[in-house]
Amino acid sequence: MFKQLFKKYKSKNSPTDLDTVLGFNDLSEKNDVRTYQINMEETFSDFEKLGLTLPSNWNIFQVNSQPGLLIVKNPFTRKGQRMWIKKCLAEYPVQPNKTNLDVHGLLLPSENWWHVCQTDPCRRQILYKKLRWITLGYHHNWDTKKYCENSKSPVPQELIELCQVCARSIGGWHFTAQAAIINFYPIGTALSGHVDHSEPNDVAPLFSFSFGGRAVFLIGRETGGEDNGEHVTALLLESGDLVVMSGQSRLAMHGVPKVMPPLHPFPWVDPNGETLTEEEEWSSSFDEYVSSARININVRQVLLPGQRTL
């Protein structure tokens, strides 16, 4: 059933039927979803610095047929969304982080992808579409599907702190961000179904942050050797959403069959004309990119508790 539904939502021959996708705006007829309550004291002082609203204001939902799957709808402020979009575009696609552009030799080691895109119109259109992933921390080997101790770079401190705050706030988890994959999906692209089992620690939750374009996210569990339609769920993810795959859902089959433009007005922009500070240095180029693409930050804990190296 997973493959059939993936093909259905991916199809370009007919418009996507979002009536069959969980959107979390009206739960009256969606018996597969219930609200998830968190009980915690807001003792952190870094919410604003990380671009987060207070956890007591988060709308969190749990999908009943996918045990452990949580969707957080409003963890970020508009300013926070802009901050993380900017980091993914202008700060993270540089060495020692790895990108798919390294393999193709489209950039020199000293070149910054975003800077080149803004200053070289001839290369811009090619580079915009060519960047598909960045790896930070332990670098995922796409051929062997494994990590290696001698292939890693530092995980940005702000990303470590973001995941720590989300983990403690949502599940009381002690989580250490040790590997991240940032995926870039131009409108109309897809990510085929797969299971994230490269990490020795497959118990720690996986955090998945979305920015820019909307996406249909498909997740399911296999039973009896065959996909069971009752255990395959389609979710609509929007800019600023957080998906947490914990418990049984941590090793569930999942994929992205459809990426669509964001709704207007853009959820990272204040429709009333928010005044931006000089520190933000936001430009229309960021809007242009994320209005035609989706950015997804996947963060994992690689090592088991007490384990220091692979």
Determine, yes or no, domain membership for 19.
no
Q: Is 196 annotated as a binding residue?
A: yes
Determine, yes or no, domain membership for 288.
yes
Supply the pLDDT for residue 256. 97
Determine, yes or no, domain membership for 18.
no
Q: CATH number of the domain that 248 lies in?
A: 2.60.120.590
Determine, yes or no, domain membership for 17.
no
Closest CA to 219 of 199, 236, 200, 201: 236
Q: What pTM was estimated for this model as a whole?
A: 0.94
Determine, yes or no, domain membership for 16.
no
Long-range Cβ contacts of 75-80 (<8 Å, 24+ apart): 75/166, 75/240, 75/242, 76/51, 76/52, 76/240, 77/48, 77/51, 77/52, 77/53, 78/267, 78/268, 78/269, 78/270, 78/274, 79/51, 79/274, 79/280, 80/50, 80/51, 80/52, 80/53, 80/240
Supply the pLDDT for residue 11. 86
Q: Is 194 annotated as a binding residue?
A: yes
Supply the pLDDT for residue 43. 63
Determine, yes or no, domain membership for 309.
no
Supply the pLDDT for residue 228. 47
* Total domain count, the chain: 1
Q: Is 104 annotated as a binding residue?
A: no
Determine, yes or no, domain membership for 261.
yes
Range of the domain at 251: 1-11+24-300
Q: What does the pLDDT profile of the chain (310 residues) look like in tens digits?
A: 889 999 999 987 666 678 889 888 766 555 788 899 887 666 666 898 999 999 989 999 999 999 999 999 999 999 999 999 999 999 999 999 999 998 888 888 889 999 999 999 999 988 999 999 999 999 999 999 999 999 999 999 999 999 999 999 999 999 999 999 999 999 999 999 999 999 999 999 999 999 999 999 999 976 555 544 458 999 999 999 999 999 999 999 999 999 999 998 899 998 777 777 666 778 899 999 999 999 999 999 999 999 999 9
Q: How far apart are CA 122 and CA 131, in angstroms?
A: 16
Supply the pLDDT for residue 227. 46
Closest CA to 302 of 163, 120, 169: 163
Determine, yes or no, domain membership for 65.
yes
Tell me how far apart the 2 most distant CA atoms of the chain are, in Å.
57
